[in-house]
Each structure stands twice: as C-alpha cells, then as structure tokens.
Structure 1
Amino acid sequence: MKLFLGFIKKEFYHILRDRRSLFILFGMPIVQILLFGFAITNEINNVNIAILDHSKDVTTKKIIDNISASKYFSINAFIQQENDIESVFKKGQTKAVISFEKDFNQHLIKNGQATVQIITDATDPNTANTISNYVNAIIQSQVKELNKGIDKGYQIIPQTRMVYNPELKSVFMFVPGIMTVILMLVSAMMTSISITREKELGTMEVILVSPLKPLQVIAGKVVPYIALSVINATVIILLSLFVFKMPIQGSLILLAFETVLFIVTALALGILISTIAATQQTAMMISLMGLMLPVIILSGFIFPISSMPLVLQIISNIIPAKWFIIILKAIMLKGVGFSFIWKETLILLGMTVFFIALSIKKYKIRLE
C-alpha cells in the first residue's frame, strides 16, 4: 500500500510539473465556460439600426428616443429616402431599418392608427426575428403610454419585411458558416502537419541542406494544398447551389477570388502552426482544439458578435473566419461588388502576409 501511495504521489508530481497537462486540466474548462457563457446567447445587444423618418413629428421622435435608450439597439444612421435602404444594408454594418410613414402623428390622431415598417437583414434569420420582436415590444410599450386614460385606444401597426432571405431559410445562414469552418479547419490542419511530418520522418535534414530558401519551402508546402482546397470549395459551392438552393447574387469571379484568398490565409496559418509544433500530434491538437471553438463561436457564424462582451468582440477581429463569413454573405446573398468588401479583403490579405512572414522567421530560427 505504501508503494502504491508513493506511485500516486509521483504521478501528481509529473502532472504538476507538466504545464501542458495543467492547461488542459484547468485552463481549457475555464476558457470554454467563459466562451460559452458569454458568447452563446439568443439575445441581442447594441445591434446597429438605421432610421427612416418621413414624418419627423413628436410621436416618431418619442419612439426613436425609446429605441435609442434601449440597450438592445444602437442607431448608427438616419437615412432620408427609400433608395438609401439597400446601400445601408450592403455596407454590412446595419441589421435593420425602422421606417415611419409620412404624417405619422396625424394618421394616429385622425384614424386612430399609424404604420411603422421594420425592415431587417435576414441573412441571419434568427437575429432578424429577434430584432423584429424587440422593436415591436418597444413600439407596443409606446402605444400603452399613449393610451393611458383614453377610452378609444390608438394603434401603431408594425409591418415586418425581411430582405435577402424573405422565407427565413436557415440554410442561408449555415452554408456560408459551414463552408468557412470546413475550409479553415481542413486547410489549417493539412498544412499544420506538413513540416512536423518532415521532422518526425527525419527528412527535415534533407530540406535544411537543400538550396531552397525558407519562402520557397513554405510556398512549396502551400501550393499543392491550395489546389486541393479549391476543389473542396468548389464541391461545397456546387452542393449549396444544387442541393440547398443557395443563391449567388454577386460575381462568381469575385467569389472565387475571395475564396482562394481565404484558403491561402488558412494554409498560411497552418504552416505557422507546423513551424511552432514539434510533433504532428501537437500540430493537430493546436489546429483542431485551438481553432475550432474560436471559428465556430467568435466568427459570427451562429451567434451575433455585437451581442458579445466588448473583450470578445475585440478578440473576434483576429479570427480570419469572421471576415470571410461577412464576405460570403455579402457576395452570395446581397450581391455586392468589391467596393463594399474591400476592407475585409485587405484584412484577410494582411493576415496572410503576417502568417507567412512569421512562418519564415520561425523557420529561419530552426535553420540556425
């Protein structure tokens, strides 16, 4: 028994000395519970909306003030005409437009009712429905206030219009997200084991003594996987078109360019992981465990980023998948051109250059 207790004591010492084991035991559960607790929510907070007020009277001003005072919404634009609605949505920052009819207050007094239109970006149907319900609740609260002490009550009739996905098909949200997750994880995972495989097989020495420069080695590792990932992406898009009836409103050429750019970004990240990791097992663990949760939770694939705490919103900016999902939805569902997604494209390009540069630096260190 004493020998057995001594053996258990030895195992405790081994675990406590192993930082990776301690991180898996205590760090991962803490990170996961914080991510799931703060990020996974069906509520909305600080969602950007625009106002189109044709009336500009005391009642519409009161409703707008109530919406602005709510923690759920942030008014980021006041537009002047119907034609501005589409351009506001295409910029990607605004999730809904609240439109008040002309002579709103007069209609309310004379006819006992007036109309307000809630126009939502339904590329994310769950968020669109939630926005509509929250705005409706604020409007009905205003109606109750107006009807205090009045026998014949006023009515404000909300009319909801969903744009880009009027039938609220959830597949319109899941296809861009699933495509992003698959390309990100598969591409990063494939390249993350490429250099570590050379180390484990003992063929790294051959590459080290070859006249190839680090950039050439990295490019040589990435190029074959680009071709394979492009085939993967093509299959996903074809399935989306013919099986799930996912529309592509924008340019196919632009979609192809952005997809290749994202693939290169993911592959470059995988190469960076492979230069850091010592074994294939470590590389696989980093590429799977280290990327899967952030890609699914912090990319805006399922849960709206605007509803997350500020810290997670900031962290989400370094997730390449976030920017690619924005690009995919903009091209496939909104039919936008490059002028609307140039910022996201530059961010992905910058990330690619950063990952490749850091990989070269890490590779050089291993050459010395």
Structure 2
Amino acid sequence: MKQFIAFVRKEFYHIFRDRRTKLILLGMPVVQIILFGFAISTEVKNVHVAVLDPSNDVMTRRIIDRIDASEYFTVDRLLHSPQELETAFREGAIELAVVFGVNFADRIYTGDAQIQIVADATDPNMATTRTNYASGIIASAQQEMIPAEVSVATIVPDVKLLYNPQMKSAYNFVPGVMGLILMLICAMMTSISIVREKETGTMEILLVSPVKPLFVILSKAVPYFVLSFVNLITILLLSVYVLDVPVAGSLFWLIIVSLLFIFVSLALGLLISSVTQTQVAAMLGSGLVLMMPTMMLSGMIFPVESMPVILQVISDILPARWYIQAVRKLMIEGVDVVLVMKEIVILAFMAVLLITVSFKKFKNRLE
C-alpha cells in the first residue's frame, strides 16, 4: 500500500510541476463555466428594433414605449416606408421590426387592427425567441389599454415556465459544461499521461517495480479522479454563487452521479491509452472520439430529440448524454433520485463494461 501511495504522490508531482497541465486542469473549468454562463448565451438581450407606424396614434405610441422600456429590446429606428424596413435589415442595423396597420387605434375596436412582427431569421431559434418575447409585450400592452368591457380585447394565454422562469441560458449550459470538463480531464488527460510513459519507454521500468501492473495504472488515474472532484465542487460553487443556478435537487445524489461519470471517463481514458502508442494519437483520439460528439450529440447544445435517428443512436452510446440528462433532472428540475435511476443504471453498466475491457486490453499489451 505504501508503494501505491508513493506512485500516486509521484503522479501528483508530475502534474503540478507542469504549468500548462495545471492551467488546463484547474484554470480551464473556471474559464469554461464563466464563458458558457455569460458570453455564450441564448437569452434575448439588446435587440435592435425598428418601428413602421403609419397611424402614429396614442395606442401605437404606448405599445412602442412598452417595447422600448423592456430589458430585451431597444427601439432605435422609426421608419416611414416598407423600403426603409428592407434596407435596415439588409444593413444589419436591426434584428426585429414592428409594423402597425393604418388607423390602428380605430380598427382595434372593430376587430381588424393589424400588427406585424418581422424578424431576421438567419438564426431561426433566436428569431422565434425574439418574436415570442415581442408578441408577449404587445399583447400585455393591449390588454392594459383596451377597456375590460370591450369584447375584442386580446386574450393572452396564461404561460407558466417551469424550472427556469427567467429563461437563463446558464440553466441549460451548466450541466453540459460539467460533462464536458469531466470528460476532458478524466479521459483525455489520463490517456495522455499513460501513453507518455509508453512513448518514452518508462512504463516498462514502472512495471518491474514491486507494485502490481494494475496498481501502476490506478496510480495514474487516481490524481485525475481527485482533481475532477475538485473541479466538480468548483463548478457547482460558480454555478450557484456566480451564475445563480440553484441546485434544486439532492446535492448528495448529484455528487454520486458525478463520481460515477468520472469513473466512466477514467475507464475511457484507459481504453484510449491501450490502443494508442503516442501522445498525439491519444490527443486526437480523445478529441475526435469523445470531445466533439460530447459537444454536438450529447444534448449539451442541441436537443437529442431533434436529431436524425442514426445520430440519436450514436447519442445513446455516449456516457455524457446520460450524465447531462441526469444532472438536469437532479440540479435543475429537482426530481427525486428514483426518476434518475435509468441514467444511473446505464452509467453503471458502461463503467463496468469499459473498465473490464480497458484493464484486459491494457494488460495484454503490456505483457
């Protein structure tokens, strides 16, 4: 046991002696969580709006003022013709336009008043979000301005947003960033660390030591397991106290599921190290096989349900997909652990399968 602890201590020395490794392991999680939490956002903010208002009556001016007063939109252009509207969009000066019909205030009582919302749909998701926000503001303004006894008043459905009423994009990105960072540190760094020993020829020296080959490999994985746990705590603290993303469910089970995912990622790192002989190959294997699919197919950015069937099948075999899904349920929705048992069972099965295959292949190659 003393020899094993000595090997683990040696690996910690290797990690903390390299500044670049320390920067990747401890600095990158902080940068990524802040970047995804603040810079990369799908929220509607500071949308430039133009208004085409041929009526220019009291009611249209109130609606315009309401739009401009919101935190989402800024009315910075008053247009006078449809040609100006098209020119403003082509110049990229606006992302949204509100077009009122002629004699808007008079026609609203007869039921034929018209409002058109025109959006730049080069980004369809953002266009949909912006038009929904604008529609809600306009409908709310009409309800307040039209007397209650008037039957033509706009009826606005009661909308209730569960789990994320402020529609903060951080609620969506934090679980994905957790999966991405843990996968990067455990799988990529572990595989590179072991392959480095094989590439330089020092792995054979380690294997002739009194420590069994199995414990030599574990001593390589233990430091990254510890550092991943530290990063997990750091991400949770930043999420709660900086990004205002609460842990709605059980913190205990959230950590347990995260430790299980860390174990799966370590097994993947060992598997990559068993089939590669150089650090470059290990880096490319980790990046192409793990990192890109984790970002694109795990549900971190794009919903899995919207993907073609073949990509959904590929997504099902990615550990990050099930981990991110479990974190969203536990952290954001606050559900009971019983409703996350499917994800836990799948991750546990992956852990047993991967660790068995990894150790078996690694042992065969070293013999």
Specify the TM-score bucket, using the shorter chain as the normaliser: 0.5 to 0.7
Matched, 1:227 2:226: yes
Query: Could you say which residue in structure 2 is the equivalent of 1:362?
Result: 361
For residues 209 and 315 of structure 1, what CA distance do their matches in structure 2 show? 41
How far the C-alpha of 1:214 sits from its partner, in A, is 4.5
For residues 298 and 209 of structure 2, what CA distance do their matches in structure 1 show? 40
How far the C-alpha of 1:156 sits from its partner, in A, is 8.1
Query: Could you say which residue in structure 1 is the equivalent of 2:253?
Result: 254
Residues 194 and 271, structure 1, Cα contact 8 Å, conserved in 2: no
**Which residues in structure 2 correspond to 1:235-254 (within 5 Å)?**
235-254=234-253
Query: Could you say which residue in structure 2 is the equivalent of 1:321?
Result: 320
Amino acid at match of 1:191: T
Query: Could you say which residue in structure 2 is the equivalent of 1:292?
Result: 291
How far the C-alpha of 1:165 sits from its partner, in A, is 0.5
Percent of counterpart pairs with the same letter?
Answer: 51
Query: Could you say which residue in structure 2 is the equivalent of 1:198?
Result: 197
Secondary structure of the equivalent of 2:159? strand
For residues 362 and 219 of structure 2, what CA distance do their matches in structure 1 show? 14
Query: Could you say which residue in structure 2 is the equivalent of 1:168?
Result: 167
Secondary structure of the equivalent of 2:167? coil
Q: Deviations over 1:55-91 (max 9, x none)?
A: xxxxxxxxxxxxxxxxxxxxxxxxxxxxxxxxxxxxx
How far the C-alpha of 1:329 sits from its partner, in A, is 0.8
How far the C-alpha of 1:208 sits from its partner, in A, is 3.2
For residues 362 and 309 of structure 1, what CA distance do their matches in structure 2 show? 34
Query: Could you say which residue in structure 1 is the equivalent of 2:266?
Result: 267
Amino acid at match of 1:329: R
Matched, 1:282 2:296: no
Query: Could you say which residue in structure 1 is the equivalent of 2:214?
Result: 215
CA RMSD of aligned residues (A): 2.6
Amino acid at match of 1:188: A
Q: Cα–Cα, structure 1 residues 250 and 311, in superposed 2: closer, same or farther, change >3 Å?
A: same
Query: Could you say which residue in structure 2 is the equivalent of 1:179?
Result: 178
For residues 244 and 309 of structure 1, what CA distance do their matches in structure 2 show? 33
How far the C-alpha of 1:215 sits from its partner, in A, is 3.5
How far the C-alpha of 1:211 sits from its partner, in A, is 5.3
Secondary structure of the equivalent of 1:292? helix
Amino acid at match of 1:357: T
Residues 207 and 216, structure 2, Cα contact 8 Å, conserved in 1: no
For residues 193 and 301 of structure 2, what CA distance do their matches in structure 1 show? 31
Query: Could you say which residue in structure 2 is the equivalent of 1:24?
Result: none
Amino acid at match of 2:337: F
Amino acid at match of 1:284: M
For residues 207 and 364 of structure 1, what CA distance do their matches in structure 2 show? 14
Q: Which runs of 5+ in 1 are unaligned?
A: 1-41, 43-125, 137-151
More divergent stretch after superposition (156-165 vs 353-362):
156-165
Residues 214 and 360, structure 1, Cα contact 8 Å, conserved in 2: no
Secondary structure of the equivalent of 1:159? coil
Q: Deviations over 1:75-124 (max 9, x none)?
A: xxxxxxxxxxxxxxxxxxxxxxxxxxxxxxxxxxxxxxxxxxxxxxxxxx
Q: Deviations over 1:297-344 (max 9, x none)?
A: 110111111111111111101111111111111111111222111110
Residues 188 and 266, structure 1, Cα contact 8 Å, conserved in 2: yes
How far the C-alpha of 1:263 sits from its partner, in A, is 1.1
For residues 217 and 356 of structure 1, what CA distance do their matches in structure 2 show? 15
**Which residues in structure 2 correspond to 1:39-50 (within 5 Å)?**
none
Secondary structure of the equivalent of 1:160? coil
Residues 270 and 359, structure 2, Cα contact 8 Å, conserved in 1: no
For residues 353 and 210 of structure 1, what CA distance do their matches in structure 2 show? 28
Q: Cα–Cα, structure 1 residues 307 and 156, in superposed 2: closer, same or farther, change >3 Å?
A: farther
Residues 221 and 266, structure 2, Cα contact 8 Å, conserved in 1: yes
Amino acid at match of 1:350: F
For residues 176 and 278 of structure 1, what CA distance do their matches in structure 2 show? 33
How far the C-alpha of 1:362 sits from its partner, in A, is 1.1
How far the C-alpha of 1:217 sits from its partner, in A, is 3.1
For residues 187 and 176 of structure 1, what CA distance do their matches in structure 2 show? 17
How far the C-alpha of 1:177 sits from its partner, in A, is 1.0
TM-score (norm 1): 0.57
TM-score (norm 2): 0.57
